[in-house]
Amino acid sequence: MALVNRHILLEYDVPGPRLWHERLVLSHVAGEVYIIATPDRDVYAEELGVLNPDVRTLKVKPAAGILPPDVVAGEVYALPAWTANDLHNLREEGRRVAEEERRATAGGAGPLAAAAAAAGTLKWLAAESNSSHQYGQEVQGVPNPLVKDSKIAHIGAHGVSIFLQCADGHDYFNFLQRPARCDPRVLPVELNPIGHPERTLKEVASMGAESKVRWELAGPRTSKWCVNYLAIENLGFEGHHERLRQVTKADASSWGIQEHFQVSMALRQALLVDQLDPYNLLSIEIQFRRLQTIEYSYSEKAKDLEAKAVGGRLSLEEQTTFGGITRQYSTLMICPQLLDHVKIETEKEANLAKNLRKVQQKSGLAAAAIPSEAVQVREALEELRVAEGYDDLPTSCPLGSFNPDLVSLPSEGMNPAPLECLWGEGGQQEVEDFTIHQTLGIAEARERLDQCGLSKCYEDPQFRDRRKYASFLHRLLDLGLITLDLEPAVETVGIFFVKKKGGKLRMILDCRMSNCHFNTPENIKLATGESMSRMELKSHGQLFTASADLQKVQVGELGVAEVAGMKLQPTSWVYPRIAVIPMGWSHAMWWCQRISERICERSGLLPSERLRDGQPPPQGTFFHVQYVDNLHIFGNDKEEVETRFWKAVEALRAAGLTVHEIEVADGSSKVLGWEIEDGGYLAPSLSRLWRCRLGIRELLRRGRASGQQLERLIGHMTFVSLCRRELWGESAGKEKRRCLCTRYREMWQNFVQWSAGQVRQTMTWTQLDRHLSNYLEELYLEGEDLSRANYVTAAVIFHVPGEAFSLRVQDLVLPLRRSGKAFKDHAILLHPLEVGVPSKTKQWDEMLTLDLPHLKFLGPALERWMQVHHRSKDEPLFQATLQETNQFLEDQWKPLGLQPLGAPHMYRLRHGGASFEAANQLREISGIQARGRWLTQKSMKNYEKGGAPSTAVRKPQQAHSKRCTSGRQRRRQAAVEKALSPKASLK
């Protein structure tokens, strides 16, 4: 009946291009059969349901002249614009055809109607069922007189006894309904005017009654609520399905939509035709649960769509509360009691799973067995972020390639809360003060931009495909994370992704250029392992903890028709702007931490009870920590911990933040990577320890590691020692720090002495790492601190031969005599591709040209004294050892009067040469960068400062300054010729 007087669109199951046929529903016959009118004024009966094999798809037009979202006007065979007289004639014709259809299908009124008879006609009817008769069947041959409502026990022809009742013809139908009234699973049968079983939803809602049942299903019984909801909505099952699609803008191919329609139709037949009592049947309850599941999955989308339509400065909740209006997304069929049950059970399962993981972690990770899968070893380094990172990348985290299915974003319908509202009292003034005092002027910002050396922000390479980029921006726009503007912004940011746990991707914005427009953010002090280790509890007192986590809050191609009320053309340019605090903004951490602290303070958590790094622990036995998006509470009093924790959680939720991963424990718990036992013992998590251990083994397996990788791995090792700072802190030596070169030499000599001469500079990295690992382990067992291990590792790297000792004869590139200017000088080829060993910047075939006037003599000298024309091309160019080279430098250091500059080392040539060329303006900065093989200009900032070289030159004593200046060319020439002489010790 819900389709009468509605305009519908039918797609018939025929080959060829898609074509929608518009129909006007004139009348209802029975079941799914309706009388319809076509554009050609044909009026006939057609089955409008899933059982009609000729119909592929059916859609209901939301209103006259409005098409469903996924229907194109060019594919519709529409109805003409009929006059009022035409419509009147069509409806009269529809009623006539409907009557004919009912008469044609009413050949018999059905078994129930056939049993009826005129009033005063008495019959003996079976009041029970047996092998020969069914309940309600007339029994012949009863000798007893017919008296209305009399009851007898009759013995049949076969000697079978049956209970009979004499019924009047007027009461036959009520007599047949008696079993249904005794069975809570069915309703009394109701017939429509043509004799078919059918009743309305309102009748089902009023006649159904919940009875005690023996079946069990987790959660509340929701069938009664759903039936009453549908009866009040008064749209029927078909109309409710269409309303869901209209509110959520979902098409027929969307997830769950077709299933929703089919389950709705099955329920319609069960309740309105079969006339089952929906309140007491498990099968009906399960089907209603499935409908609610599908509608709940679309509720956030419906809320988001409605919020966009409402607009204005007030939130959707505020506007609806003030106006007292009904929100469309809240009118979906979802039982509130079921939502409460799902919420409670989900939190229970989450806590159970978390506790189970902790038990498994303790039993598994504490075991001596080491994971054997190589992938776990490699992933350990990645999780520790022990990977090379260069200045041109905005993060040291492992980058992830864009995959829309793996990106972690807020759920649909989650509206970002304004900063001034989260801040609380004085929030508007706080935001205005921040804007005034923390933003820089144009000139100062431009200077900082020039210093940072960036010309473009980093962006995921996948976004070079503009369709992918536009699709992702559309998703961010739907979530409210960005807005659109018609004016370009001052700076742009790049979107990229880093890997996070669970295989997901975290979206990061490269805000390095935008950060140049803001002052340096204030320092914030967070809780560390050391601060938590200083908590003092009552003797023999049990520790209770409570933890919670906040969910992260962060035109033609976009399908946008207008921006700020202005219509857009397909060629119009729009500029997306960030609408939330971006992860990557220099002040994001400060804002998130301060807002979290202020909200918790409003809930009653005192600042004097907060744990902070570098500050004395609070007095008493109650402590709390806000660590950006994490809340942790500790104490001896379980009731106090839980009461104050839930007040803080409610305050966070009231502020518009989503709180999840709630855990209240009276035993061990995991907090910020630390495990806290109920007795008050604090230790680093076993998973972190295993990652450090596996990371060390992976570096040893590789055979080499950069200083950056070692620095990060040692940083993690330092972190796990923070709870016992006295074990890792460097000895408080008041002695003057000695030269690093001298200290490295001592460390190296001790290492060689320990190995009984087995360690040599000519060893491979694999051999050297094996000895180094054993040496560091022995130092650790002897009680040496972490700083000793750092120095030993640095000393080994310091004394290992560099790239100069890997040069071959053919790597000295001779000039071409008859070539142009580009090939007239000698050059040195570093890291040739055929050797297979790249530079530390992952480059191949790097070329150093000896093109400056004071260096040109080196090319012919090397060509002559290294005898390159008489030696094999693959033979090492230099045959001296690193020790001989260092000794040579020391022998020449003193005669040149350079002792005040410190101990000599070959690495000085790299930075000393760059400083010399910059101070004497021998090359541009870009040329010095190419000569030194630095990837970014940020590494060149020190060489733009002319004061540093001049200060270094003035360090030698005054007596040596004149000699160093006047005779530097002569002495350098003599020293080099002596070094390259065939009779010299250095060959």
Taking only the tens place, the pLDDT of each residue in 395-440 is 556 778 888 888 888 766 566 777 788 888 888 888 888 888 888 8
Task: Give the per-residue pLDDT at 555.
Answer: 34
Q: Which residues lie below 8 Å from residue 626, measured CB to CB, with a gap of 6+? A: 593, 596, 597, 600, 610
User: Is a pLDDT exceeding 90 seen at residue 660?
Assistant: no
- Taking a C-beta distance cutoff of 8 angstroms, is the pair 534, 454 a contact? no
Residue among 766, 746, 748, 765 at smallest CA distance from 757: 748
Q: What tokens were used for 333?
A: 């069929």
Residue among 34, 7, 12, 3 at smallest CA distance from 23: 7
Lowest mean pLDDT among 2-6, 860-864, 955-959: 955-959
What is the SS3 string spanning 368-419?
CCCCCCHHHHHHHHHHCCCCCCCCCCCCCCCEECCCCCCEECCCCCCCCCCH
Task: Give the per-residue pLDDT at 975.
Answer: 55
d(CA 611, CA 621): 12
Higher pLDDT, 966 or 864: 864
Lowest mean pLDDT among 301-310, 615-624, 820-829: 301-310
Task: Give the per-residue pLDDT at 735.
Answer: 33
Higher pLDDT, 389 or 426: 426
Task: Give the per-residue pLDDT at 730.
Answer: 39
Lowest mean pLDDT among 300-314, 408-422, 479-493, 674-688: 300-314
Task: Give the per-residue pLDDT at 252.
Answer: 83
Residue 559, burial from CB neighbour count under 10 angstroms (0-12, 13-18, 19+): exposed
Percent of the chain with pLDDT over 90: 5
Average pLDDT of the segment spanning 888-912: 71
Please list the alpha-helical segments (H only) found in 453-554.
466-478, 512-515, 529-533
User: Is a pLDDT exceeding 90 seen at residue 634?
Assistant: no
* Bridge partner residues of 9 (DSSP): 22, 59
d(CA 661, CA 643): 18
- Alpha carbon 892 to chain centroid, angstroms: 60
User: Is a pLDDT exceeding 80 seen at residue 680?
Assistant: no
Its pTM surpasses 0.75: no
Lowest mean pLDDT among 294-298, 685-689, 960-964: 960-964
User: Is a pLDDT exceeding 50 seen at residue 636?
Assistant: yes
- Rounded to 5°, angle at Cα 190 from 189 and 193: 145
Q: Which letter, b or e, does each residue of 892-915 get, where b requires 16 or more Cβ atoms within 10 Å of its Cβ?
A: beeebbbeeeebbbeebeeeebbb
Average pLDDT of the segment spanning 715-723: 76
Average pLDDT of the segment spanning 358-383: 52
Residue among 609, 604, 671 at smallest CA distance from 644: 604
Higher pLDDT, 388 or 828: 828
Q: Count CB atoms within 10 A of the CB of residue 316.
A: 20
d(CA 600, CA 651): 7
931 backbone dihedrals φ, ψ, rounded to 5°: -65, -40
495 Rama class: left (phi>0) / alpha (psi -120 to 50) / beta: beta
pLDDT band of 729, cuts 50, 70, 90: very low
Average pLDDT of the segment spanning 113-120: 49
Q: What tokens were used for 785?
A: 């601190």
Higher pLDDT, 120 or 137: 137
d(CA 178, CA 163): 15
d(CA 675, CA 533): 11
Strands 151-155 and 669-671: unpaired
Q: Which residues lie below 8 Å from residue 182, measured CB to CB, with a gap of 6+? A: none
DSSP H or E segment with residue 704: none
d(CA 163, CA 176): 15
Q: Which letter, b or e, does each residue of 469-482 get, where b requires 16 or more Cβ atoms within 10 Å of its Cβ?
A: bbebbbebbebbbb
Strands 669-671 and 482-485: unpaired
Average pLDDT of the segment spanning 103-112: 49
Taking only the tens place, the pLDDT of each residue in 165-211 is 898 876 777 787 777 677 788 888 887 777 788 888 989 998 888 88
User: Is a pLDDT exceeding 70 seen at residue 541?
Assistant: no
Higher pLDDT, 930 or 985: 930
Highest mean pLDDT among 122-126, 257-261, 359-363, 818-822: 257-261
Q: Mean pLDDT, the chain, as a whole number?
A: 76
d(CA 95, CA 79): 20
The DSSP secondary-structure symbol of 79 reads P
Percent of the chain with pLDDT over 70: 74
Lowest mean pLDDT among 48-62, 357-371, 795-809, 843-857: 357-371
Lowest mean pLDDT among 707-716, 726-735, 811-820, 856-865: 726-735
In a 3-state reduction of DSSP, which class is residue 196?
Answer: coil
Sheet holding 812-813, edge to edge: 812-813, 827-830, 846-849
Q: Which residues lie below 8 Å from residue 941, measured CB to CB, with a gap of 6+? A: 451, 453
Strands 669-671 and 630-635: unpaired
User: Is a pLDDT exceeding 70 seen at residue 591?
Assistant: yes
Task: Give the per-residue pLDDT at 607.
Answer: 86
Lowest mean pLDDT among 43-47, 457-461, 571-575, 634-638: 571-575
Average pLDDT of the segment spanning 529-534: 72
- Taking a C-beta distance cutoff of 8 angstroms, is the pair 210, 280 a contact? yes
Please list the alpha-helical segments (H only) found in 557-704.
588-602, 638-654, 686-702
In order, the DSSP letters of 440-468 are: PPHHHHHHHHHHHT-SS----GGGGSHHH
Taking only the tens place, the pLDDT of each residue in 473-483 is 888 888 878 88
Q: Which letter, b or e, does each residue of 689-716 get, where b requires 16 or more Cβ atoms within 10 Å of its Cβ?
A: bbbbebbbebbeeeeebeeebbebbbeb
